[in-house]
């Protein structure tokens, strides 16, 4: 495989079979988004949002990229900002892992940590944009930017159908909701028989990339629209002990990923049993273990 630049390496992530007798007669394939350049699914939406802003003329030379994130989008912005020659200010929250913080520093982004939810940082970004002189910041606003779900409508969804043309069910977590909203819209258009399961955190559970909407995480317009249009067949809430147990199960098979993936695997197994699912099930693993070592070492 040959590429002219690193941006061409976003997407086309591998799917690998998870050995799990509990899943039979379904086969669970994990789509390893950790194989993106910064090790997470957020590279897809980040590139789409930056390209969208360039295209509409709202991102110009000398401007600073700005957004709020639980950590992975912040890494993507720091990375692609550096590659494309923009300075970056990212606003993370208490879900930020030490490894992501180091990555953001290594890529030279300015970092602020505010609150417990991405929406806290998003509000701070909105205030900053108003306070500073016009044209200083380009606010990507992943929670409201429709280029975010569009990235997944155009890439993640098609990749799943290419690798599993008869996919019975797709399972992934809701952070901003971009990944599942875009993927679900694509699948419901092209293969309506595919069931879509959206995963969230149970109250009191703090997992990166898996919103806890009962505790105050923000329901973005993409999540709301997907629910209004019945694109999610089921919504499953997961707890931290289940996410931990499944992350260890994946680790033992050489599938090295963050706790979000363990949570999604648990939700997939729950749905397979509850709804008697057969055939290929694809689960979205949001990031690599390397970005979560401080949490993984405590398991
Ligand atoms: C590890 C991980 N998985 C999944 C997601 C969910 O992605 P989205 O924001 O598109 O819902 C995120 C988002 O932060 C994430 O960090």
Instruction: Please write the tens of the pLDDT for every residue from 126-146.
Output: 999 999 998 999 999 999 999
293: CA distance to ligand 1 center in Å? Answer: 17
The pLDDT score that the predictor gives to residue 241 is 96
Q: Does the CB atom of residue 262 touch ligand 1 within 6 A?
A: no
152: CA distance to ligand 1 center in Å? Answer: 12
Local mean pLDDT, 10-residue blocks, the chain (299 residues): 96 97 96 98 98 97 97 98 98 94 98 96 96 95 98 98 98 98 98 98 94 95 98 98 97 97 98 98 98 93
Q: What is the position in ligand 1's atom list of the atom closest to the CA of 258?
A: 1
Q: Does the CB atom of residue 97 touch ligand 1 within 6 A?
A: no
Q: Does the CB atom of residue 93 touch ligand 1 within 6 A?
A: no
Return the axis-axis angle of helices 178-190 and 221-228, rounded to nearest 10°: 30
Whole-model pTM above 0.95? yes
The pLDDT score that the predictor gives to residue 24 is 95
Best mutation site among 207, 220, 260, 264 for ligand 1, i.e. most ligand atoms within 8 A of its Cβ?
A: 260
Residue located nearest, by CA, to atom 5 of ligand 1: 209
Q: Does the CB atom of residue 174 touch ligand 1 within 6 A?
A: yes
The pLDDT score that the predictor gives to residue 299 is 86
pLDDT tens digits, 207-253: 989 999 999 999 999 999 999 999 999 999 999 999 999 999 999 99
The pLDDT score that the predictor gives to residue 226 is 98
Q: Does the CB atom of residue 258 touch ligand 1 within 6 A?
A: yes
Q: Does the CB atom of residue 92 touch ligand 1 within 6 A?
A: no
Q: Does the CB atom of residue 149 touch ligand 1 within 6 A?
A: no
Residue located nearest, by CA, to atom 7 of ligand 1: 175
Full set of structural domains in the chain with CATH: 6-41+146-296 (3.40.50.1100), 42-139 (3.40.50.1100)
Q: Does the CB atom of residue 178 touch ligand 1 within 6 A?
A: yes
128: CA distance to ligand 1 center in Å? Answer: 24
């Amino acid at each position: 495989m040959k590429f002219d630049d690193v941006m061409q390496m976003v997407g086309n992530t591998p799917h690998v079979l998870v050995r799990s007798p509990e899943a039979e007669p379904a086969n669970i394939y994990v789509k390893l988004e950790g194989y993106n350049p910064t090790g997470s699914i957020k590279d897809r939406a980040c590139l789409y949002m930056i390209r969208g802003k360039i295209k509409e003329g709202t991102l110009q030379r000398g401007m600073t990229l700005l957004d709020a994130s639980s950590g992975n989008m912040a890494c993507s912005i720091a990375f692609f900002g550096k590659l494309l020659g923009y300075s970056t200010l990212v606003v993370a929250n208490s879900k930020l892992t030490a490894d992501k913080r180091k990555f953001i520093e290594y890529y030279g982004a300015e970092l602020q940590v505010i609150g417990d939810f991405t929406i806290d940082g998003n509000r701070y970004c909105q205030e900053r944009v108003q306070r500073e002189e016009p044209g200083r910041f380009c606010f990507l606003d992943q929670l409201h930017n429709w280029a975010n779900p569009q990235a997944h409508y155009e890439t993640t969804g098609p990749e799943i159908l290419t690798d599993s043309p008869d996919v019975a069910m797709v399972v992934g977590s809701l952070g901003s909701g971009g990944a599942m909203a875009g993927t679900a819209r694509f699948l419901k258009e092209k293969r309506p028989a595919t069931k879509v399961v959206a995963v969230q955190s149970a109250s009191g559970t703090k997992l990166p990339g898996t919103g806890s909407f009962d505790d105050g995480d923000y329901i973005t317009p993409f999540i709301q629209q997907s629910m209004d249009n019945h694109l999610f067949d089921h919504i499953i809430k997961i707890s931290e002990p289940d996410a931990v147990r499944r992350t260890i199960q994946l680790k033992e098979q050489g599938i090295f990923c963050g706790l979000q993936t363990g949570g999604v695997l648990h939700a997939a197994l729950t749905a397979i049993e509850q709804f008697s699912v057969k055939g290929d099930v694809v689960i979205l693993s949001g990031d690599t273990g390397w970005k979560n070592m401080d949490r993984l070492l405590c398991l």
